[in-house]
Homo-oligomer: A and B are copies of this chain.
Amino acid sequence: MPTILGQNQYGKAENRVVKITRDGDTHHIKDLNVSVALSGDMDDVHYSGSNANVLPTDTTKNTVFAFAKEHGIESAEQFGIHLARHFVSSQEPIQVARIRIEEYAWERIATSDGNSRFIGADDVKHSFVRKGQETRTTQITFDGEKWEVISGLKDLSVMNSTNSEFWGYVKDKYTTLKEAYDRILATDVSAKWRYNWTSDEERMPNWEKSYEQTRKHMLQAFAETYSLSLQQTLYQMGSRIINSRSEIDEIRFSLPNNHHFLVDLEPFGLKNDNEVYFAADRPYGLIEATVLRDGVEPKIPVDMTNL
């Protein structure tokens, strides 16, 4: 046979599970989108169509919902760990399980504003508005021995309206760009960071706190960096996280440079003193890089977009 099978994986993608936990009248939500990918001894199903080693993707879906009841959802990472361990340990042919999760945050609707004159205006503890902003992500991979946890976020839109310059670059025959000494710097942060926790023997990070702190450092580094290039800002964001969070060894960013072009108002007799900008869609700069703790081997895949 002149052709052979290479890497392969299968499972149910995008299981949308919502878990409500009731603490008396106070409710808590976890809202996840869970994708399962299993690999192992799967030659036969590809070559002959024999499903003898195939746990149906429908079963992997059922397992996600059943585990939300059986284990609860403490964090996306912890939930993914339960799932990955189950598939690898319970199914002989499955050698690697990879669980990817998106999490959508909700916050409470404030009702007790003191001046509400409507019935039921006591503080309501079961009403939520979706927080918007970024989507939190995680990817749990387990081969029966070692864990790899790569968490992250995407679509976190940030903007500095000053403290950004761009000049001193290479100029070739196709260069027409003018140097900028005060520009808007805006991006939609997409980031993935790898935890150095790899074994059940080690103490597990506090996933919720780690996420919250990583996000905070990322935003603060973006805000506090006087930027000569988006690459410099990216590196500042990454190194502050590596320096502040000992549980994280590596972080990769994909940062579109969301161009805000200063509009030329001179034809209308007006001066544009860094006030009026046109927010462009395409094309956009795209800056991607990994920042690592010195001495560790990079493992986050380079591709974070499909472009």
Contacts and interface: CB of A to CB of B under 8 A. Distances in A.
A204 interface: no
Given A5-B235, A228-B49, A307-B13, A69 B265 contact: yes
13 contacts: A2-B243, A3-B294, A5-B290, A6-B292, A37-B288, A50-B168, A52-B168, A54-B231, A58-B177, A62-B175, A109-B220, A301-B301, A303-B303
Indicate how many identical chains form the complex.
4
A164 to B, nearest CB: 10
A20 B161 contact: yes
Given A132-B132, A231-B42, A57 B90 contact: no
Interface residues on A, range: 35 or more
A128 B159 contact: yes
Given A110-B219, A130-B159, 14 more contacts: A2-B293, A4-B292, A20-B184, A20-B274, A29-B161, A37-B286, A51-B229, A55-B169, A59-B177, A65-B276, A68-B276, A126-B160, A129-B156, A129-B157
Contacts of A181: none
Contacts of A27: 161-162
A154 to B, nearest CB: 8
A291 B159 contact: no
B3 A239 contact: yes
A279 B18 contact: yes
